[in-house]
Each structure stands twice: as structure tokens, then as C-alpha cells.
Amino acid sequence: MPPKKFKASSECDHHLPNEEEGDKSLLKFAHFFFRSFKGFMGGTSFSPEQRQFTRHFFLRKSAHDAFKILEMELSIIHDALHTKAVAAQRKIGSILRVFSASSILVASLLFFLHDKRWFLKIDVIITYVLIFGAIVLEILSLLMLRSSDWYLIAYKQYNWAKCIAAAIVNKRRWSESVSKFNIISYSLHKNPTVNSKLPGAQQFMGNLSFFRVIQTTTSDSAPKSVRYKIFEELKMKSEKAENVETATKICSQRGDWALMQSCCYRQFKWSLGEIEYRKSLVLWHIATDLCFYSCRSSRDYYDLSEFCKTISDYMLYLLMMKPTMTVPVAGCWLQVFWDTSVEAKRLFHKRSIRDHREACKAILSVDTEFEPVVLKGDASESVLFDACRLAKQLMEKKEPWKLMSKVWIELLGYAAVNCEANVHAQQLSQGEELLTFVWLMMNHLGLGMQFRDEPARTRYKVVVKK
């Protein structure tokens, strides 16, 4: 349960810290936004004035500073929701900590001075080990407390032991890694043949398939270029979203906005707005893979191709391993995944393919002049041949990666803002996800779904501390 102070405040006066340089000031900003907008995690709606305030602040920030503030803010939110950091900074927390440490020291001293001649030697050894363990745990707990953001926030000791304070402020709070899953890599694994009539055969195959999913999942560092690209793209959208109505329209787009901006809406609308999100996600994932391994990118577009590949594989990972974060938008997507995978396995087995690049070439060699329903059957939910058709259309474009990067950012943002706020909050206990970063970023840029149209009832003012 969050502490009592963790209340969602819909209206508040903003006492913004001085905009001094360095990560030290970024921590102050992070705590300020936590206090002012912690209601985001509770699903609270905020007024247009509050939206404009946070939007204008982040529009002035660089991608580096914005991500650093978000990283610190999520770390503070994690501590507030999932640890005792907040309680430990209160007077009662300090009193209890002193009492706990004193009790251990007194117990240690009394046992050390006590006559132990009548005790078994093994009991004495065990007691000393337990006392030593308790002392070590207490010291580690104290060090962790003193190295937390909350200690600097609570006591404002930015000048004590400057090297230690700087280490706390500059520490990395996020692993900066993203997990990936690729449907073509998964489909290249051949499952053993098992008689379905045998008892437990279906359960065995289901467990084996899940094991294959875990085996195929990888984790790589998210380059700064990926994070900065997301921020710059969302920043451009925020600049166009002057009011809540426009912001809501932008957030509701799942690739259509990018197509309209690139004058490609008529050509590609069949792959996004005209089908369900779950299908378009798997469809664009496979098409991105086909283009990545088959389309030669110039140096100018190499980073964009890597960006699209990273986000594409990350979104499929969320579908497979974090379904609670994508259920609101993806719905029952498993049928699409399994049918597509079965279709791919059949093609790869027929041509004895084991290499990823060769697999992509094999898919692209399929004749897409016929409607996909003729190739796959009416009952199948497979999007494999649709992806082939989409990839061929994309490769005909002069700058396909520029369009694809914009589409993937919209697909990512659509999933982020439609994921329940409490799910993002729960996810923090398991580690920070890029999707949660994007969700918080969009809210701070005024692109979230948690802003209301009507103005605030109370007067709103901004006070800058000197």
C-alpha cells in the first residue's frame, strides 16, 4: 500500500526549483514533478493549466535531460510505492531505526558479557553468526538508505561529502536495456513430433512452446539514439497538440497520423487503421524484419533501420511476456501469433530453411498478387502473407525507414497511453520498462489520456523559488 502522503492532488501550486545546471538540479525537478503529478499513477485527471505547465517545461528540455528527469522520477515513484524509503525519512522512521540498531547493539553486548560456560559451543557459534548477520544487515540497510534519492531529497544535503552526493545523483537507475522477441526466429525452431492422442501431449507441447518463447527472447541495451528519437518525435507531436482535444486525437492514432504526414495514407491504411491493433502489430513486425534483412540501408538511414528493428522486437516481447501491459489494445492476439507462426514453420520446413536471412528471402519470394485468403485459407488469422505484401510496398518507397520509424513510435505510444496506470505502477516493482518511460513522457508532454477539458476550479499560479 502507498503511504498516506501519496495522494493524488488534482490542483496544486507549483513551486518550481531554480533551473540550475547539472544532474543535481534534475533530481530536484524529478521530485517536484513527483509531488505535483503523482496522481498519474492513480489514474487522476489533471486540468488544462496543469497540462500546459508540464508540457511547456518538457518542451524546453533536451532529450538527455528529459530522460534523466523521467528516470529519477520513476525511481522516486518506485521507492514511494514499493519500498519503505518514504517512511524511513519521517521522524517515526528515524526513531524506529535508532531503536532497532540500539537493540541489536545492546543484545550483542549483553551476550558478549554473559557467562557462556554452560552453553553448548555450537549454540554460541550460531548465536554469534546471527548477531553478526543482523549487524551486517543493519549496516547495509543504512548504506542503502543514505545512497537513495529520498535521503538527498529529505535532507537537501547536496553539499555534504560532495563526491558521495554526486555519486548518488549520477547513479544509473535504469538498466537501459530492452527485451526483444522475434516471430521469425521463433518459427525457425522445429518442435518435435508428438502423438496428440498420448495423455498429456497437448500440455507438453504447450510447455515446450512457452520454453521456445523464453529461449528466443533476448535482451540488449537501448542506445541513446533510440530514446532520443522517441522523445524528439513525441516532442513534435506535443508542439502540435495545443489543447486537450487535439492531444486526445493524436493519442488515439496507431500509425494513421504518420501515414497522413507522409502522404501514404491511401497506400498503407489497410495495414493499420482498417484492421485490429493486434493484427497490425504482428503484421508490421514481420514486415520490418523482412525489410531489415532484405533492404540495403544507406548510412543516413542505418540508425533508423536499427531503431525500427529494436522497437518492433520490443513490442512483440511485450505481447508475449508482458500481456497485462498490452491487453487493453491487443485483446485476444494469441490466435494471430500462433496461426502466423504455424504458417511460417510450414514454409520454412518445406524449404529446409534454418537461417534467419534465408527465411526472410523465402517469405518475400511468395507471390502476393493473389489475395492472402487464397494462400492461407479463410479460417486462418495468419498475417504472414499480408506482411510480405506490406514489405514489398515499403521497399518500393524512397525512404521507407523514415516512415516506418514514425509508425512504430505511434504504435508504441498507443500501447503506452492505453495501458492502465496501475499496471505501470505494478511493473515498477519488476523493473522499469521502456513502455512506462514512454507513458510518463507522453503525460508530461501533455499527450496522455489523463487531462480534462474543463479549467481548474481553483486559481493556478507558478512560484519560482529563489
451 strand-pairing partners: 46
The model's confidence at residue 318, banded by pLDDT at 50, 70 and 90, is very high
Closest to 35 in 3D by CA, of 73, 91, 83 = 73
How many helices and strands, by DSSP H and E, does the chain display?
24, 4
- Residue (of 381, 374, 359, 367) closest to 286 by Cα position: 359
pLDDT of residue 362: 92
Mean pLDDT, residues 268-294: 91
The residue that leads in pLDDT, 150 or 119, is: 119
User: What pLDDT, on the 0 to 100 scale, is given for residue 5?
Assistant: 37
Parse the chain into domains and list their residue ranges.
88-170, 182-216+252-419
Helix (H, G, I), strand (E, B) or coil at 464: strand
For 59, counting Cβ atoms within 10 Å of its Cβ (0-12 exposed, 13-18 middle, 19+ buried), the class is: middle
In this prediction, residue 160 carries a pLDDT of 46
Tell me whether residue 382 is exposed, middle or buried, using C-beta atoms within 10 angstroms of its C-beta: 0 to 12, 13 to 18, 19 or more: buried
Q: Chain-centre distance of CA 388, in angstroms?
A: 29
Please say if the pLDDT value at position 438 is more than 50.
Answer: yes
Residue at grid coordinates 525512404: 399
Mean pLDDT throughout 261-287?
89
Number of CB atoms found within 10 A of residue 86's CB: 20
Q: Determine what percent of the chain falls in helix, strand and coil, rounding each to the nearest 5.
A: 65, 5, 30
| Beta partners for residue 180, in sequence order | 218
Q: Measure the CA–CA gap between 438 and 67, rounded to whole angstroms.
A: 10
Amino acid 455: pLDDT: 56
Percent of the chain topping pLDDT 70? 75
The angle at the Cα of 183, spanning 178 to 187, to the nearest 5 degrees, equals 135
Query: For residue 431, which phi and psi values (nearest 5 degrees)?
Result: 125, 150
Contact 314, 226 (CB under 8 A): no
Quick: pLDDT tens for 196-207. Answer: 454 544 554 455
Mean pLDDT of 339-353: 90
Which of 403, 179, 181 lies closest to 308, judged by CA? 403
- The predicted model scores a pTM of 0.80
- Pure H helices in 297-333: 299-321, 323-330
